[in-house]
Amino acid sequence: MTMQISYRKATQADMDIMTDLLFLLYNDEGQAPDLSREELFAENEQLFADTSQIFFLAFDGDRPVGVSHGSLRREYVNGANDGLKGYLEAIYVLPDYRKNGIAAELDKIIGRWAKRNGCREMASDCLLENTDSYKFHRKIGYEETERNVFFLKSLEPQKYKIHPVDDTVRAKIQPILDETWGAPYLAINGKLWDSRSMPGYAAVSDDEVLGYLLYELHSGVCEIMVLESVAQNIGIASVLIEQVKQAAKANGVSKVIVQTSNDNTHAFRFYQRRGFTIREVRLGAMDAARKLKPSIPLIGEEDIPLRDEIEFEIEV
């Protein structure tokens, strides 16, 4: 049988495909024989909305032939160290496609995702009587920790390099930025800025962007216009901030500033922990920003009304 196997992250549009494959898994292996397909579909919808969960699919041409489900866990996992770790929640390949390395590749993809999110270990489990699953885990590098049976394997720290944003790097970060912000244009401090021409830096690993920062030099300051970490919990944002501080110095600028909206409490903590102080609070600034960019929502993170801009600064 000639196969053309490809892999990709599952999207909301793949919910039926994911559910069908996982339903086969849970019924074939007796893990949840009383769970109906409708109940499994509803459960998958809830998991899909959780950023600590992820699904990947394997295809032979257009035919879905495998699925894997991974998660990030902070709670205790048998045999693992404290802190964040990746967890292989489920993996399934159609019987006719087994023993072709598809399941092993789906596991590797989950491992790379966990590594990008700061994990140093990958864990899993199976039922005691599931000897096929046990053999599979041992074959791909997991070690049994204790019964009833849990597995663990180490993940190498995520390695990356910082690159200035050139045309090649920009082609990689622009789709990420456009998806996050809804457009290449940023409405900041009463002005519409075009991100497509901004200088910046990106953290790149194996040709994949893990995070990026764009800035502008204007009015005697260096302003961080966008800072986004695709991979969490591995210090990329802090490294990018240090890089832009060096860029400011090289351009004879002694102050770096950054704006955030009133709903972004995570940014408040992040910047202040890195030495930034509040420079200005602009009440009602988001109403003015909406006139420039109508797509800005009325409600932000944690259901907080999106109203004001807060400006932070740091001397360099």
pLDDT tens for each residue of 217-241 = 999 999 999 999 988 778 899 999 9
When mean pLDDT is compared across 30-34, 84-88, 164-168, the lowest value belongs to: 30-34
pLDDT value at 112 more than 90? yes
Name the residue among 157, 118, 110 with its Cα closest to residue 137: 110
CA torsion, ordered 162, 168, 170, 173, to nearest 10 deg: -70
When comparing pLDDT for 83 and 196, which is higher?
196
- In the predicted model, what is the mean pLDDT of residues 42-48? 90
When comparing pLDDT for 76 and 275, which is higher?
275
Which tokens belong to 121?
């270990």
- pLDDT at residue 286, rounded to an integer: 92
Q: What percent of the chain has pLDDT over 70?
A: 97
Strands (E), 40-149: 53-60, 63-73, 85-93, 121-125, 143-144
Name the residue among 27, 35, 32, 41 with its Cα closest to residue 95: 27
CA distance 21 to 35: 14
Greatest mean pLDDT among 30-44, 140-154, 251-265 lies in 251-265
CA torsion, ordered 109, 8, 39, 92, to nearest 10 deg: -50
- pLDDT at residue 133, rounded to an integer: 84
- pLDDT at residue 32, rounded to an integer: 52
- pLDDT at residue 231, rounded to an integer: 84
| Ordered domains of the chain (ranges, CATH) | 5-154 (3.40.630.30), 161-315 (3.40.630.30)
- In the predicted model, what is the mean pLDDT of residues 5-32? 86
- In the predicted model, what is the mean pLDDT of residues 37-62? 92
- pLDDT at residue 33, rounded to an integer: 56
Q: How confident is the model at residue 30 (pLDDT cuts 50, 70, 90)?
A: very low
pLDDT value at 248 more than 90? yes
When comparing pLDDT for 95 and 128, which is higher?
95
- pLDDT at residue 31, rounded to an integer: 54
Q: Which residues of 140-150 are buried (b: 16+ CB within 10 A; e: fewer)?
A: bebeeeeeebb
- In the predicted model, what is the mean pLDDT of residues 180-208? 91
Q: Give pTM, 2 decimals.
A: 0.61
Secondary structure element (H or E) that encloses residue 210, with its range? strand 208-218
Which residues does 48 contact at the CB level (< 8 Å), separation at least 6? 10, 12, 15, 55
- In the predicted model, what is the mean pLDDT of residues 189-195? 90
